[in-house]
Structure 1
Amino acid sequence: MVEPQRYSERSDLLRVQVSKSVNHFWDPFDERYINFAIPFDVTQALIIDPIQIDELQTSVAAKLSKADQIKLGNDIMHFYLSQLLHGEQAALIVSSNLSQTLLDPGIQEFAANQATEEARHVSAFSKYISIRFGSPMPMVKPMQDFVCELLSLDAIDKKIAGMQLLIEGLAVGVFKIFGKYAVDPVLKRLFQLVLIDESHHHQFGKTWAEYEVGDLDPSVRNELEDWTVKSFLGAIVHLISPTEKADIYQKYNFTAQEMQVAMHELFTPEKSKQMFVDKETFLYYLMKSLSDSGILTRRSAKTLGFMVDFDELAATPDDALETWVPEDVISELKKINEKKQILKSL
């Protein structure tokens, strides 16, 4: 890191993204950006449209009272928000780790800047969960194992693919879709703000893939693809599995096995595949991201073919993964930040 020639070997690959970070700055402790004091009774209403909670679409949930359906739905969202919080903490740790290991000073600066933004996400999700639910639920073991693996890796290509494309690709899809369907105005605002940051983080992965993946030795590229698929199946799929929510279901007198059966009734193989090409699901954005990056190819059809329709995924226009950032929110942030600078100068 302190070799004299390294400092001059700086690429401009991410200079624009770093310079734009000032435009989308926000402070989770300043109500001008997000007002956590806006009330919302989680015992009386769902914080998100029920269409986004798979369990509420099943025959098992149909047997519950309306009040219990609301409680179940919000319990499940408490679970997902907790995993998002842990994911932001993981992103903070991994991006900090990348800033210590990347040799390119320009990309190192981006990783350090990302760590700062992930830290504010941790603060924001912590605050929201504290206000609405009290405390977060534990991180699921498969995701915890995946993060520990990322930190222990020496291979930078896997670290970047795992962090910037797999985790951030999932995050961008989740924040976009959940933000669209959030009912609680505080939650909707939180998703909008975090989406702006995460879209820039995800862009790092896409830019890296554009310049690096195609030039990898075929055996190395194939190993990267196989590792990414294994990580997806081991961490992301388990994240949405009923097995990880058994303690929640127990409160409503049914088991994870009963919910698994109900889910299979609801999601036929054909409908499950549709989730990966339907732009109204967060899994679509993740799979399209991995496909467009060149990491996921038809080599993986034998492993993922039961879930992913590769023909439909490939037929989706290449520009389908534009950043989807709410321009009105960005404009609002710019105005707040410009006003703060004016006041600071007086």
Structure 2
Amino acid sequence: MDMERAAPETGIRWTMPVDAFMSDDYECHESRLNKLYEKAKGAQWDVATDVDWKSELDPDNPLGMPDPTLLIYGSELWERLDTKGRKEVRHHAQGWMLSQILHGEQAALICASKLASAEDSLSARLCAAVQVADEARHVEAYAKLVNEKLTVSYPMSQSLKGLLENTISSSALDITNLGMQVLVEGIALSIFQNVVAYSKDPFIKDLFTRIHRDEARHFAVGRITLTRIYSEMSSTELKEREEFVSEGARVLYDHLCADDIWSPMGFAKEACSAMVRESRVASSIRRAIFRRLVPTIRELGLLTPRVRDTFEKLDVIDYEAMPLAGGEP
């Protein structure tokens, strides 16, 4: 008898400590979360049938993004590149970005399953449960995009790997929520918004718009849940969360330098990494991706002197005064 064989196991194993919680309270008490759950149920879509996968991407610029969104745009290196060289930079930069998003979506799937098992509130558990389906859909979509539409893919960056490990393996459920729903999702939402705003490819705009809508709900669930939790937390407990936010923000800011793409293109990694960190264009691109995260940290009550100092060093503290983009979806 023929049997279907599983693919050989490759990847990373992290310990995910969680105490499954079985509640005897079946009332959904949190009205804001209940509304998001209802929206999520009505906003499900099918990767296989609702997206036009027959669309062909531009071989010179798969995501259809303008060149000023590239980290080395305007640099001496960029000016020296010929048409073929610039095409290669686009492919590697976009392939790296989508690969990191795909890795992040799989981590979000793991985190959502953890939250669905352990949240005390039934409203929060239902939101986490529907998020599991959302994240599975996003993994399916980005895997199909990376594997079938792009020519370049990358493993998870070391900085992202460290943050995700700390997020998934934390015994504190709120830190899993904070790391994924706020830090990682907050950065991802800004990236998705940029693609929706600037891509000239209708297929890419449609796909990213669908995923952006889903992720905006997840981000809102995290904000609502954590605002309540942190308003009741002691100063000693909050100190650990401040440290987590400070370190996570630094890690993400460094991650956005995309250090991994230079060697595969034959460039000197150290020189290019230094060039990106000194570039005004690259700094402007990276700092703009924090525009949603900083006011959210303010709303959670975690914009303490220590966190503020981190944001000042990253040159993103001016986003503190911004209203939360779009409110709840």
Q: TM-score, normalised by structure 2?
A: 0.85
C-alpha contact (below 8 Å) 2:112/2:132 kept by paired residues? yes
The 5 Å alignment of 1:2-21 reads 5-7=24-26, 11-21=30-40
Q: Give me the whole-angstrom Cα distance separating, in 2, the residues matched to 1:86 and 1:45.
A: 19
Correspondent of 1:87 among 104, 108, 123:
104
Is 2:116–2:125's contact at 8 Å kept on the other side of the alignment? yes
Whether the 8 Å contact between 1:173 and 1:283 is mirrored in structure 2 is yes
Of residues 308, 311, 317, the one that matches 1:304 is 311
Q: Is the 8 A contact 2:21 2:117 kept in 1?
A: no
| Offset of residue 207 of structure 1 | 0.8
Matched residue, 1:150: 167
- Match for residue 181 of structure 1? 198
Point out where structure 1 has 5 or more consecutive residues left out of the alignment: 326-346
Bigger fraction of residues in helix: 1
Is 1:222–2:239 an aligned residue pair?
yes
Structure 2 distance, partners of 1:94, 1:195, is: 18
Relative distance call for 1:254 and 1:26 in structure 2 (3 A) is: same
Does residue 241 of structure 1 match 2:257? Answer: yes
Aligned partner letter, 1:314: E
Q: What is the alpha-carbon root mean square deviation over aligned residues?
A: 2.5
Which secondary structure state, in structure 2, belongs to the residue aligned with residue 283 of structure 1? coil
Per the alignment, do residues 165 and 219 of structure 1 end up closer, same or farther by CA in structure 2, a change over 3 Å counting? Answer: same
Counterpart of 2:222 in structure 1: which amino acid?
Answer: G
Q: Partner residue of 1:288?
A: 295
Greater mean deviation of Cα atoms: 286-295 or 89-98: 286-295
Q: Which sections of structure 2, spanning at least 5 residues, go unmatched?
A: 1-19
What is the aligned partner in structure 1 of residue 274 from structure 2?
A: 261
The answer to whether the 8 Å contact 1:52/1:181 transfers is no
CA contact (8 A) 1:60 1:262 kept: no
Q: Percent identity?
A: 22
Counterpart Cα distance in 2 of 1:158 and 1:206:
12
Residue pair 2:33, 2:221 contacting (<8 A) in 1 also: yes
Evaluate the alpha carbon distance shift between residue 164 and residue 239 of structure 1 in structure 2; reply closer, same or farther with a 3 A threshold: same
Deviation at 1:149, TM superposition (A): 2.0
Contact 2:189 2:215 (8 Å CA) reproduced: yes
- 1:231 matched to 2:248? The reply is yes
1:50 CA displacement: 1.1
Give the TM-score taking structure 1 as reference length.
0.81
Say if 2:41 is the partner of 1:22: yes
Distance change (3 Å), C-alpha of 1:154 and 1:37: same
Alpha-carbon shift at residue 123 of structure 1 (Å): 0.7
Q: Deviations over 1:238-293 (max 9, x none)?
A: 32124332333xx2x3212221333244229xx947964xxxx3222222322333
Does the CA contact (< 8 Å) of 2:70 and 2:90 recur in 1?
Answer: yes
Cα distance in 1 between the residues matched to 2:208 and 2:35: 23
What is the aligned partner in structure 1 of residue 3 from structure 2? none
**Are 1:170 and 2:191 matched, yes or no?**
no
Q: Which amino acid aligns with 1:243?
A: D
Q: Give per-residue Cα distances to partners, 1:214-244, cap 9 Å, x unaligned.
A: 221122112201111112223x123212433
- Give the Cα–Cα distance (whole angstroms) in 1 for the partners of residues 114 and 328 of structure 2: 28
CA distance in 2, matches of 1:242, 1:82: 11
Quote how far apart the aligned CAs of 1:23 are. Answer: 2.9
Whole-angstrom distance in 2 between the partners of 1:51 and 1:215: 44
User: Take 1:196 and 1:79, find their aligned partners in 2: how far apart are those partners?
Assistant: 23
Measured against aligned partners, the alpha-carbon deviations of 1:157-190 in whole angstroms (never above 9, x if no partner) come to 2111111111111121111112211133221111
